[in-house]
Amino acid sequence: MTNYFYVSPEQLIRDRAEFAQKGIARGRSIIAAIYDKGVVMVAENPSASLNKISEVYDRIAFAGVGKYNEFDRLREAGIRWADGTGFTYSRGDVDARALANYYAQHLGDMFTEGQKPLEVEILVAQLGNLVRPTKLYRVAYEGTIADEPRFAVLGGDAETIKTRFAASEDTLEPLNTTLKNAVSALAGPDRTIEVADLEVGVLEDRGDRRTFLRLSDEQVSELLR
Amino acid sequence: MGLPLFSAHDDPGPSFFHYAETTGLSVAPLGVGASSPHATTVIAVRYNQGVVMVGDRQATGNYIASRDVRKIEPADRFTALAISGTAARGMEFIRMAQLSFEHYEKMTDTALSLEGKANYLSPIIQLNNLSTPLMVLPLLAGWDTSHKVGRIFEYDGAGGCYERFDFATIGSGSPFAASTLRLGYSADIELEGALDLGALAIYEAGDNDPSTGGPDFVRNIYPMMVTVSSEGFVELSNDDVANRFRVINERRTQSGGVAGGSLR
């Protein structure tokens, strides 16, 4: 006969949260910020091919921290959802909020019902146009969704980085200034991050339908100069 | 539609067509079909720096259904895709191809090779054409960014994909367009020569095939002309195209409607 021990729901949630937080804290952080012409996402990522930042749709981008296999599957699902929705209705009907909500529901379900909670935190960024606003939606491991007004930080060290970045100007600044602030907030006062260890993506209108652009090391060095 | 998550063993991978099929997004073709507007002539000519494509603008049913159809579309920056056959299926085919190439690029963070794109379309054509009378035949042409050369791929009704190193034609006006190209083509043809030859081929097709539209000077609608080169997909302006067809038309008027013994 198997013995079942009583575990209070409070204890269960606490254990699961602690487990997820530990997993997320192992990886490096990401910062996403709105600048005067778009959205910039900066990740500290020593790998040049295992990306944390990705294009999802014409005006939507994805960023994830934590376990790579878990957030990459969510990234793929997001691209499929966006392409499928645009195919069924129209490109203009693909909305970041809807996608962020699906992510929140899935993460929430996995947190309470899954074998283990997903050890990820993700961000869905949307570049605004005439009908939609520029938005940063942060979705945490347990499914809470936050609509961040100016910038968002994902990852274990989020609070410290957040305080550092919040010290910068409150107004929207050009890309180079915002990128500099983001990189120094990620690095902190005691160290510098090599350009090769940075992964940077932007959403910005350049006259094309697709607005996502992954910046090369040269472009990043140029902007940080 | 919820979040499309798959486990590793039934994941459709970066193919949008496969994904759309597994989730029922695209409707599988049925064995019965209604007749709908069709017919076309589109040609592609390879020149030393890329590919030229010219296509007529007419959709024909029992009468002329539309005079300004765009039968050549950019599938992505370096690839042009043209369609002939049933208009409705053709438009859906272009949409599926465009989306698929972009989907692959986003999923894998690398663009498909031109040959990869050409092969990808084969089973889609096969599935459509062998299961419905609503035939669609595409023509794929583009700039191969890894080999720095323009390439043309044509298909047969069963989905077979063949690379052509000179020129290719699709649609009901093909015999006339192909004859013109065969007589005028040379292996070292340059951009201007390819544009003029392509325009003449479509002019011939429009002149002889009832389902292909020629230049429409009354409505100011002309065949579509595009180039795909290292600079990507570029569509010629309406004025530029109008001038080219006006020149041909003028020559033909002076010779009383005959080509005049030479290719002109």
pLDDT in tens, A44-55: 999 988 999 999
User: Which residues from A are below 8 Å from B6, CB to CB?
Assistant: 77
pLDDT at B18 over 70: yes
User: Which residues from A are below 8 Å from B95, CB to CB?
Assistant: 87
Q: Own/partner pairs for B146-150, CB < 8 Å, 24+ apart? A: B146/B113, B148/B230, B150/B46, B150/B47, B150/B49, B150/B50, B150/B51, B150/B228, B150/B229
Using an 8 Å Cβ cutoff, are B139 and B52 in contact?
no
Query: Do B4 and A83 make contact, defined as CB atoms within 8 angstroms?
Result: no
User: What pLDDT score was predicted for residue B261?
Assistant: 56
For residue B45 the two structure tokens come to: 């000519």
Q: How far is the alpha carbon of B230 from chain A, nearest alpha carbon, in Å?
A: 18
User: What pLDDT score was predicted for residue B87?
Assistant: 81
User: What pLDDT score was predicted for residue B27?
Assistant: 64
Please indicate if any CB of chain A lies within 8 Å of the CB of B10: no
Class of domain A28-224: alpha beta
What residue type is B59 in one-letter code?
A
User: Which residues from B are below 8 Å from A54, CB to CB?
Assistant: 106, 109
How many other C-beta atoms can be found within 10 angstroms of the C-beta atom of residue B66?
A: 13
> Domain B37-254: what homologous superfamily?
Aminohydrolase, N-terminal nucleophile (Ntn) domain (3.60.20.10)
Q: Choose, out of A47, A49, A58, A80, the residue to mutate when testing the contact with B (most B CBs < 10 Å).
A: A80
Q: Which residue from A minimizes the CA distance to B97? A: A87
Q: Which residue from A minimizes the CA distance to B95? A: A87
Query: Do A83 and B1 make contact, defined as CB atoms within 8 angstroms?
Result: no
pLDDT > 90 fraction of chain A, expressed in percent and rounded = 89
Closest partner CB to B106 (pick from A73, A79, A87): A79
User: What pLDDT score was predicted for residue B241?
Assistant: 97
User: What pLDDT score was predicted for residue A7?
Assistant: 87
User: What pLDDT score was predicted for residue B236?
Assistant: 97
User: Which residues from B are below 8 Å from A81, CB to CB?
Assistant: 1, 3-4
Closest partner CB to B1 (pick from A76, A78, A81): A81
Q: Which residue from B minimizes the CA distance to A100? A: B3
pLDDT digits (tens, 9 = 90+) for B177-194: 999 999 999 999 999 999
Q: How far is the alpha carbon of A220 from chain B, nearest alpha carbon, in Å?
A: 19
CA-CA-CA-CA torsion sign (B201, B207, B209, B210):
positive
pTM of the model: 0.90
pLDDT, averaged across chain B = 90
Residue A185: which pLDDT band, with cuts at 50, 70 and 90? very high
| ipTM rounded to 2 decimals | 0.90
pLDDT > 70 fraction of chain B, expressed in percent and rounded = 93
Chain Cα centroid distance, residue A40: 11
pLDDT, averaged across chain A = 94
* DSSP structure class, residue B173: T
User: Which residues from A are below 8 Å from B2, CB to CB?
Assistant: 102
Q: How far is the alpha carbon of A77 from chain B, nearest alpha carbon, in Å?
A: 5
Q: Which residue from B minimizes the CA distance to A85? A: B1
Closest partner CB to B106 (pick from A54, A87, A106): A54
Closest partner CB to A88 (pick from B25, B102, B109): B25
Those residues of chain A whose CB sits closer than 8 Å to some CB in chain B are 49, 51, 54-56, 73-74, 76-81, 83-88, 102-103, 105-106, 210, 214
Using an 8 Å Cβ cutoff, are B81 and B139 in contact?
yes
User: What pLDDT score was predicted for residue B8?
Assistant: 79
pLDDT digits (tens, 9 = 90+) for A129-154: 999 999 999 999 999 999 999 999 99
User: What pLDDT score was predicted for residue A3?
Assistant: 77
Residue B264: which pLDDT band, with cuts at 50, 70 and 90? low
Please indicate if any CB of chain A lies within 8 Å of the CB of B5: yes
Nearest by Cα to A72 from A118, A32, A116: A118
Closest partner CB to B3 (pick from A51, A55, A106): A106
For residue A78 the two structure tokens come to: 């997001």
pLDDT digits (tens, 9 = 90+) for A10-19: 999 999 999 9
User: What pLDDT score was predicted for residue B134?
Assistant: 75
Q: How far is the alpha carbon of B95 from chain A, nearest alpha carbon, in Å?
A: 8
Q: What residues does each domain of chain B span?
A: 37-254
- Which runs of E-coded beta strand occur in chain B? 41-47, 50-55, 59-60, 64-66, 72-76, 79-85, 136-144, 149-155, 161-164, 167-171, 224-229, 232-235
B114-129 vs B87-108: helix crossing angle, rounded to 10 = 140
pLDDT at B139 over 70: yes
Please indicate if any CB of chain A lies within 8 Å of the CB of B25: yes
pLDDT at A81 over 70: yes
Q: What residues does each domain of chain A span?
A: 28-224
Residue positions of B annotated with a catalytic role: 40
Please indicate if any CB of chain A lies within 8 Å of the CB of B91: no
Q: Which residue from A minimizes the CA distance to B8? A: A73
- For chain B, report the end-to-end CA distance as a whole number of angstroms: 56
